[in-house]
Amino acid sequence: MNSTDAEALADLVDKQSAWLDQYQPELRVTEQGTVVTIGDGITWIMGLPSAAIDDILIFADGSRAMVFDLNRDRVGAILLYETEALTSGTLVHLSKNAPSIPVGDAFIGRVVDPLGTPLDGIPAPVPAGRGGLERASPPIIARDFVHDPLYTGIKIIDTLIPIGKGQRQLLIGDEGLGRSSIAIDTVINQKDKNVVCIYVLIGQKRSTVVNTIETLKKQGAMDYTVCVVAEASALPGLQYIAPFAGCALAEHWMAQGRDTLVIYDDLSTHARTYRELSLLLRRPPGREAYPGDIFFVHARLLERSTCLNAENGGGSMTALPIVETQQGEIAAYIPTNLISITDGQIYLDANLFASGFRPAIDIAKSVSRIGGKAQHLSISNQAGRMKLDYLQFLELEAFSRFGQRLEASMEARIQRGRVLREILKQERLSPLSSLFQLAWLIAFNEHLFDQAKPEEIKDFLARMKKGISDTRLTLNSSPDQWLQAIGDWLGIEPNPQP
C-alpha cells in the first residue's frame, strides 16, 4: 500500500468514527411502494400513503418519477428517467424533494435536458444552486411596470408591435410560417445587450433541434443562451416539465437583477403532451379532450414572467411562448387560452406568407397591449404616424381590387403604401438596430421614399444601414439631425411635406 492509499484509508476511518460518535439510535419509519403497472411514460404505484402531488419518487433500479395523480389506493406518476430494469414489482421510495433543476452561470452556452443533464457531450456544469420547477409567481408588490424595450431586430415588430422587458408576447400562426424564425432572430439580436436567453424546445424533431442549436452557434448567440431540450423521442414527463425547467433557469438570473428572455417552442405540443399524460392517468377529459386545468398549467407558467421593482433587484423575465393554429383558426381552445393569459400576440398569416411578405405578420390581428409603454419616445412618435399610413393603405388596396378608378391622390397613397410594404419585408437572421428602426421611420414619414420604386427600396435600406454604422447620432438626436444625415446617405435633398 502506497502513502496515498494509506492517507485515503485513514481519512475514511476518521469519517466513519465521526459518524459513529454522532449516531443516535432511534425509531425510523420509511414508506415503501411497489410498481403495479408501467407503460407509455406513466406508472401506477401501490402504497406511499404520504405522497403528494409533484413529489419526486426514487425507484430501486435508479429510475425517477413525479407524482401526477392521487387515487384512493394507488399513486399515478410520470416518468422522468427510466432504466431498462424498471418493471412491475420494483420498490419505490419518496425522496422528500420537490422537482428542481440545477441553475447558475455555468449553464450559459450549454444544451441540457429538463433535469439539467448535459446533452452536448461536455461534462456537467457546476451549479450555483437549484431552482424549483414549481414556484409561486412574484406578488404584485414585487413587480414594476414594463418600462424598458426589448428589441427583436425585426422592423415590423419593433415599430408596430413593440415588446418590453418583462412582457409575455405570444407568437401564433400555422406551422411553417416563421414563428420559430422570429424567436431565433430575437435571441440573436440580444447580443451585447446583457440579456440571458433560454430557448426551450418541447417535443421537436431531432433535426429541428440540431438546426436551431447550430444556427444559434453560427450567429454567436450561444455565448449568452441556454437550450433546454426535450425532443420528440424523450419521455412525455420530460416534455411536460421542460418549460418549467426553462422558467426556473431564468428566475435564477432574474433574482440577481438581470434581464432574461425565455422562448417556449412550443406550448401547443406541451398542451398535447399534458393531455396525453392526463388521459393515460384517467383524468376526466374536457373540451377537445384536454383536462380541465390546462388553462391553469399555462397560466402559472407565464405569470412567473414579469419585471421586478428596484427593491427586489430590478430583474426581468420576458416570455415569447409559441402556439400553433390549424388553418388560421385563432379561436381554437389552446390559442384562445394563451391569448387571454399573455400581454399581446404576433399573428402570422398564411396568405401574407404565400404572397412573399416575410415576416408574414398580420398587423390587423396583432397587438402589444403594454409594449408601447416601453417604446422609446422618438420611435413611438414616428411609428404612430407610419402605422396610420399603413392601415389606410390596406383599406385603400382592398377597395382598389374592385376595379374602381381612383383619384391621383389615392393612387399616390397606394404607391406610398406599396413602398412601405417593401420596407417592412425582412430576411431571416438579419436583425437590425434600434437606430436603423428610427432612421427608416423618419425617412418614410418625411417622404424621402416617395419617388422610389419598390425594387429600389432594398438598395436604399442598405445605404442607410451603412451610414448608421458610422453615425454618432442617437435615439435622442433631433428629427432634423436625423433627416439631414439620412438625406446625405441616400443622396436625396430633404424636403419635408405636411
- Asked if 42 and 93 count as a contact pair (C-beta separation under 8 A), the reply is no
Structure pTM? 0.91
| pLDDT at position 4 | 62
Going by C-alpha positions, the residue among 374, 346, 375 that lies closest to residue 144 is: 374
CA distances from 106 to 13, 112, 202, 458 (A): 35, 12, 22, 42
In the CATH hierarchy, which top-level class contains the domain 33-94? mainly beta
Interatomic CA distance for residues 260 and 251, integer angstroms: 8
In the predicted model, what is the mean pLDDT of residues 142-161?
Answer: 96
Tell me, what's the pLDDT at 84? 92
List phi, psi (to 5°) of 181: -65, -40
Q: 378-490: what fold? A: Lysin (1.20.150)
Percent of the chain with pLDDT over 70: 94
Report d(CA 12, CA 14) in Å as an integer.
5
Two domains, one topology: 33-94 and 378-490: no
pLDDT digits 0-9 by tens, 253-305: 999 999 999 999 989 999 999 999 999 999 999 999 999 999 999 999 999 99
pLDDT at 6: 66
- 435: left (phi > 0), else alpha (psi -120 to 50), else beta? alpha
Question: Is the confidence at residue 19, as pLDDT, over 90?
Answer: no
- 270 in helix, strand or coil? helix
Q: Which of 74, 143, 358, 369 is catalytic?
A: 369
Specify the pLDDT at position 31: 83
The 10s digit of each residue's pLDDT in 304-317 is 999 999 999 999 99
Of the pLDDT bands very low, low, confident and very high (cuts 50, 70, 90), residue 403 is: low
Q: What residue spans define the domains of the chain?
A: 33-94, 100-375, 378-490
- Closest by CA to 107, choosing from 225, 191, 238, is 225
pLDDT of residue 476: 94
Distance of CA 130 to the CA centre of its chain: 21
Q: Is 369 a catalytic residue?
A: yes
Banded pLDDT at 498 (limits 50, 70, 90): very low
Residue 206 vs residues 223, 229, 232, 300, 380: alpha-carbon distances, Å: 22, 10, 7, 28, 41
Q: Rounded distance, CA 361 to CA 347, Å? A: 6
pLDDT greater than 50 at residue 16: yes
125 and 104 in contact (C-beta within 8 Å)? yes
CATH of 100-375, one of 3.40.50.410, 3.40.50.300, 3.40.190.10, 3.80.30.20: 3.40.50.300
Q: Is the pLDDT confidence value at 412 over 90? A: no
Round the average pLDDT of the chain to a whole number and report it.
Answer: 91
176 sits in the region (left: phi over 0; alpha: psi -120 to 50; else beta) called: left
Asked if the model's pLDDT at residue 490 lies above 80, the reply is: yes
Q: Is the pLDDT of residue 208 over 90?
A: yes
Among 220, 147, 149, smallest CA distance to 187 is for 220
Res 190 pLDDT > 90: yes
Amino acid at 465: K
Least Cα distance to 33 among 77, 99, 82 occurs for: 77
Q: Which of 57-66, 388-397, 429-438, 487-496 has the lowest mean pLDDT?
A: 487-496
Q: In this predicted structure, what is the pLDDT of residue 14? A: 72
